[in-house]
Structure 1
Amino acid sequence: MTVRHQTRDRSNKMLNMVQSYAARDRIPSLHLSDRMPTPDDIMDISLRAYLPTNIDETLLRSEMTVMIKKTLRDNLEVFKDLKIESHIHHPYQLESSRKSVISDCTPLILLLHADGLSCERGNDAQSARINGSNAWTQLQGLRMSIQEWHKRQFLLQDAYDELYSGQCARDKGTLFHLKIFFNHRSVSSNVKNDFDHNEEFLDCCAQGYILLAAVHIMNIRDLDEKPMDMPSDENERQLYLDRVAYEIADSCFLSVVHVSNKAADVSNETEDTYDYCICKQEKPGQMMIYCDNKHCKKGTWFHLECLCMNEEDVPNGKWYCSPECKMPIHTYKQGKGNRKVVADALTDHKRDYALMVMWRGLNQRIRKDAIRENDGERMIRH
């Protein structure tokens, strides 16, 4: 039921009223302990337990592949007749698929997960109704459990803080540009104003980039075209779909091992590392020349000997070490000031941005699927 009313801060505000029922648990939980964890129990948990393991990485990669295959099957004409797993399996999916049984007898023990303030209000409500006429009016059976209620919102907000900016309105393919192009007026940088629209918009953009990656891998021009190397046998087509999905997942997946190796490489570097010139060696007494591109990634300062240059070859004006560094800095009007964009031929920023949108969108979609499928372990893991 939806009610609209006028307020000072917002002239048209929507309130959602929901009637709730207590349902019997379809999954047995009598083996679980009712003891609340203490601060000492939490302090005893090793920090390593909070870091993702190789098993977590393997599971996440598999879950991403399932979501990618579903996107390809739903949008590419050549895959629409294939039967694939539309949801991620978990041990209790059979029990979760059964119809709920509404409790109409004595109150059951019902956990209410909320933040600290909401749990405090729940306890106050039980205390205020302690003299009720029956168990229902006394709110018996309700057990407050502190848990972060807005996890999905915080993670989505983190994604928008990283990927959504009004300064990128002219950059094609960014979330802000796509919002304007498709006229998604409800999307904003503050996701709590309209969480559902912001979540759907990120999912839509992620699926769009997934399809673009598939079009590139399959070497086709549109979603209805059939690839030249598409097999006719159904089983081989299924393998073809798996191969495309695996390749897309690998392109946007940042491995934990990869990050660990990069961190190890950085930690192994000594403080005496010489970052100048192409030789990366300190040569006292050698004359050096400076590259006038402050974003130079090849050394900034260079020995004349390493460049096969003499002192007479040093120009009076600016000097650049390579054609990439000589590329001009493009400037265009942005509000009251100028925004400078430095051309960088060594990094494909648009590709990195697209991969990050895919990564964020797939993670958000996996979390949503876990809630829909009642997969508690996956809810915690993500």
Structure 2
Amino acid sequence: MSIAEHEIENREGIPDKEHCAYSLVFDNVNKHFHAKQTTRDKGNVMKNMVQAYAALDRVPSLDLDNHQLSSTKFEESHAPISYQMKMKSDYIQLVRETLIEHIPFFKCIQLERNIEHVYEDQSAERSNLIPLGVLDKDETKIADMVDIMENYHKYVLGSREEDPITIPLFVEGLSVERSYDAQNARINADNAW
């Protein structure tokens, strides 16, 4: 039995919403304040802040392993041939739909959408976003980035006695580097600044 057949057969076995995890997303928010009169002591000011929200997963992911892909067997990490063929037919269907939609010559052709996906209903739902507020921190400063990471860590489930659940943190590329720098600085620090 292929992965696709197994997924479609087990559609009823999809866990409820309470078994879904969430992801954290943050980005910097900047506000430029113009001074009415610029002097030696007063000038234009850039206020840097960070805004975040939690996005509830529409598809349950708590049952997935957190280990690296390199530690899995080759057979587990690659789809069977039947699943690859199903994906190929799905891609062909998507190309057909795109051609019919954008090329006037093909507008007369009517196609039925026959791509089945195990999480199609969940993916069609509206995203549930929970605002986490704005922090008055500048992510370009490592000390502030440590505070930002500590603030978001309180939203991670688990206690110090048990391993916390891995929660993805989605940010832009530069913020990822800053978060790595903040983690590394915290690991090597003698105290909390």
| Fold match (TM-score > 0.5) | no
Looking at secondary structure, tell me which structure has more strand per residue. Answer: 2
**Higher RCO structure, 1 or 2 (CA under 8 Å, sep 6+):** 2
How high is the TM-score relative to the length of structure 2?
Answer: 0.38
Structure ID, larger Rg = 1
